[in-house]
Amino acid sequence: MASLDDLKKRIASVKSTQKITKAMKMVAAAKLRRAQESAEKGRPYSEKMNNVILNLSNGISDKENAPKLLSGTGQEKIHLCVVMTSDRGLCGGFNSNIIKKAKSYFAKILDEGKELKIITVGSKGNDQLKRVYGEKIIENISFKESKNANYFDADKVGKMVIEKFEAGEFDVCTIFYNQFKKCNYSNSSSTANNPFK
């Protein structure tokens, strides 16, 4: 049986750990708040851009003379899938949900007898997909050196996809990514909105 001295030391140790955990929780909450604000600021621009592109492609009357990026090739034989994951782990279902959705889509494409090409963005996605779809992965892009997501990294991926389309390497491109959903967590209530519903 532990002595009174041992129990006192154990209690002090647990209290010390609680303080450290509380400080880490506060730092994580501040980082999450900054990331949430950043995601929310960019959303109106991406939604508006998506609407503009959809309106342009829907408004094409002469598909023969229209730019191929808007009108497409008219075929669905070769599918390019861009799988966007993180370069670091410890983020719960962030990567696994994307990979699960992508694998399901890959199986459907291959069952239909179509050709599949994969570009992985982020090392976590590449690590999980190369086991089964290694021969289908044509590019692996990693941004481990970048501390924050930025335009230049996104531009690099976008230019690569456009170059491959203009070279006639694929007919259809599908991008797999997570969409941020705002959660209103309350300290006073144990129930919170689930972002993964």
Told to judge if 91 belongs to the known catalytic residues of this protein, a careful annotator would answer yes
Mean pLDDT of 16-42: 86
Report CA Rg, the chain. Answer: 23
Mean pLDDT (the chain, rounded): 84
Residue 25 shares a structural domain with residue 113: no
The Cα 144–Cα 187 span in angstroms is: 34
Q: In what order do the strands lie in the sheet with 115-121?
A: 137-141, 115-121, 78-84, 172-176
Query: pLDDT at position 183, please?
Result: 60
- Mean pLDDT for the stretch of residues 97-103: 93
Q: Please check whether residues 86 and 169 belong to one and the same domain.
A: yes
Burial of 5: CB neighbours in 10 Å, binned 0-12, 13-18, 19+: exposed
Q: How many domains does the chain have?
A: 2
Give how far the C-alpha of residue 70 lies from the chain's centroid of Cα atoms, to the nearest Å.
24
Question: Is 50 part of a structural domain of the chain?
Answer: no
Structure tokens at 193: 């909105």
pLDDT of residue 31: 83
Would you state the pLDDT for residue 173?
Answer: 93
Of the segments 14-28, 51-65, 81-95, which one has the largest average pLDDT value? 14-28
**Quick one: average pLDDT of 175-182?**
80
* 190, part of any domain: no
Q: What is the pLDDT of residues 143-168, one digit of tens each?
A: 888 777 778 888 999 999 999 999 99
Same domain, 170 and 73: yes
Does residue 91 sit in the same domain as residue 127? yes
Q: Kindly give the residue spans of alpha helices, DSSP state H, lying in 2-83.
A: 4-58, 68-71
Residue 108, CB-side half-sphere exposure with 13 Å CA sphere:
8
Residue 187 has pLDDT above 70, yes or no: no
Domain interval for residue 26: 1-44
39 with 73, same domain: the answer is no
Give the pLDDT band of residue 32 (cuts 50, 70, 90).
Answer: confident
Name the catalytic one among 81, 91, 173, 183.
Answer: 91
Dihedrals phi, psi of 46, to nearest 5 degrees: -65, -40
Closest CA to 103 of 78, 86, 120: 120
Q: Which residues are CB-contacts of 74 (< 8 A; sequence separation ≥ 6)?
A: 63
Going by pLDDT thresholds of 50, 70 and 90, the confidence category of residue 184 is low
The CATH code of the domain that includes 132 is 3.40.1380.10
Say what the pLDDT of residue 41 is. Answer: 83
- Distance (Å, whole) CA 157 – CA 148: 15
Domain presence at residue 104 = yes
The answer to whether residue 97 scores a pLDDT higher than 80 is: yes
Q: How confident is the model at residue 74 (pLDDT cuts 50, 70, 90)?
A: confident
75 and 146 inside one domain = yes
pLDDT of residue 195: 42
Average pLDDT over every residue of 103-107? 95
